Structure 1
């Protein structure tokens, strides 16, 4: 694939003979009809839903993880439109560059990786209420019929499945430390690889008792912090501070740090208005992406195009993995400029759904054109 300014180029990737799908066709403008009516209905519904020094630095980091913080609004009002425009030039809209993205997939198998919170569902105050809309579920199901599709989340795998409720997907919970293949296959995407179906990978099982201890400790230690919520995500513990008054953020940060200090085999990372306590093993969403590609039989295949869509700091590990591969497309979901290794951007879950539906429509049109070409070739008189 020729290098462009927005698609991660394939550098140092040796071509591998593998039974990937044949050439795909450039995107055609959407046609009017039932398909477009469904897509418009989905979009309308989705849019309607829509140390002291160290501690101070950590609190500033906590502020930065809140894109809706008043300072962000004030900064926009003060006129940082130029900064936003510059950021968009570096990370253009995946919808605006849709034709370039599908052109990059010519002759390749697209594999979809999707974060959950903030990507397929809106960010909400109560993590237990982060429900996916029926229209988004329909879009994800449609994508899974066309491409191998995985949900990669910091949430407990079982909890993510309860939200998504699609048995044909791969699920990587706890930042990829709990991976399971689809209960059923809708399109037979995976190549002949015994690991591709029913994948179950848990590289941090030995940490489960320790994680449960920390979970209980953090519940006790944060009990007096109004708005703090501790969530057990099986292989990691999440401490949400979205509903904590900003004056209490320092207390949350210090509490998490002091508890984890007693467990040298655990570490603290920060996501979007959340602290996450995780095992110190070298495993993250990027490693999960690599594992799933290997499970699907695409580990050393040049004819694959991984596409990862996510909104959180933890998704950066996956974006960086794509860049290390020199192969794939990362899409950050954000309305605000932020440092990222992604190539493209989308503003909100409604745009994610639009992108997924356009991808499905394009693939269906490509298949239809291929069928017509084959029929024409078969009907052509032989010499």
Structure 2
């Protein structure tokens, strides 16, 4: 289904909750996370949508809330960082959906383990998000990268009662158990219960968000996906941008 056809499906809804992933959905995947930045056209589209009373707009990402705020300085936009556990309102109020003691998981120890296992392997980037660790290997040779990831998975076995490993597009992430984007989706739906809910995402971390949509909600998978029931597809962030443009035009 084309972006225009998808936009036409929701044209008659007076109130719309539009939720999007960031990397691989709004912006293309890049070799390093710091390269995945929005262009002026995307920021304009988001601003136009967020300024319309009909739309409630939120971006839900595994990135930190601070990073999202720097990347997406869009008035009226809700941001959910760290897989949706921390939400920033347009007024910059921060809402924590999963209160916990930060000291109960030794994130620095896990970060050191990741650095040790990947040391000397070209192309690895270990990202310390504070409350999560990401091992990016898009630029690494697949053979050595696979060995290092297996070694790391074995090394953090003692911590797996509190954290979990989540594979993505050339990235392996360590996150707290119980944390997922479905938390933010549920929060936003409860905030606007009469709005028609839509979620766009591109990888495994978005499956929890899709699962949190109520029956009849619109699930739009971006990129290469296996066939599924009750979902639609857009090939890339280019078509996502076209979809957003069609929503504005409609």
1:341: how far off? 6.1
Match of 1:349 in 2: 237
Question: In 1, are the aligned partners of 2:84 and 2:181 still within 8 Å (CA)?
Answer: yes
2:11 to 97, 102, 111: 102
1:271 to 162, 168, 187: 168
1:127 to 5, 15, 33: 33
1:109: how far off? 1.4
Question: In 2, are the aligned partners of 1:227 and 1:244 still within 8 Å (CA)?
Answer: yes
Matches within 5 A, 1:62-73: none
Which sits farther off after the overlay, 248-257 or 272-281?
248-257
- Other structure's SS at 1:237 match: strand
- Other structure's SS at 2:158 match: coil
Higher strand fraction (1 or 2) = 2
Match of 2:73 in 1: 165
- Other structure's SS at 1:102 match: coil
- Other structure's SS at 1:230 match: strand
Matches within 5 A, 1:150-299: 150-183=58-91, 198-203=93-98, 205-207=100-102, 210-263=106-159, 264-281=161-178, 283-294=179-190, 296=191, 298=192
1:201: how far off? 0.9
User: Partners in 2 of 1:167 and 1:255 — Cα distance?
Assistant: 44
Question: In 1, are the aligned partners of 2:47 and 2:75 still within 8 Å (CA)?
Answer: no
- Other structure's SS at 1:306 match: strand
User: Partners in 2 of 1:161 and 1:341 — Cα distance?
Assistant: 34
Match of 2:217 in 1: 328
Question: In 1, are the aligned partners of 2:86 and 2:97 still within 8 Å (CA)?
Answer: yes
Q: How many aligned residue pairs are there?
A: 246
1:276: how far off? 0.8
User: Partners in 2 of 1:276 and 1:163 — Cα distance?
Assistant: 21
Question: In 1, are the aligned partners of 2:134 and 2:172 still within 8 Å (CA)?
Answer: yes
RMSD across aligned C-alpha pairs, in angstroms? 2.0
Question: In 2, are the aligned partners of 1:172 and 1:178 still within 8 Å (CA)?
Answer: yes
TM-score, with normalisation over the residues of structure 1? 0.60
User: Partners in 2 of 1:95 and 1:248 — Cα distance?
Assistant: 43
TM-score, with normalisation over the residues of structure 2? 0.90
What do the CA deviations read for 1:124-149 (whole angstroms, capped 9, x no partner)?
11111111111111111111112111
What do the CA deviations read for 1:215-257 (whole angstroms, capped 9, x no partner)?
2321232112211111122321111111111111322321331
Q: Given the superposition, is the C-alpha separation of residues 120 and 160 from structure 1 closer, same or farther in structure 2, using an over 3 Å criterion? A: same
- Could you tell me which runs of 5 or more consecutive residues in structure 1 were left unpaired when the two chains were aligned: 1-91, 185-197, 363-383
User: Partners in 2 of 1:248 and 1:337 — Cα distance?
Assistant: 27
Match of 2:50 in 1: 144
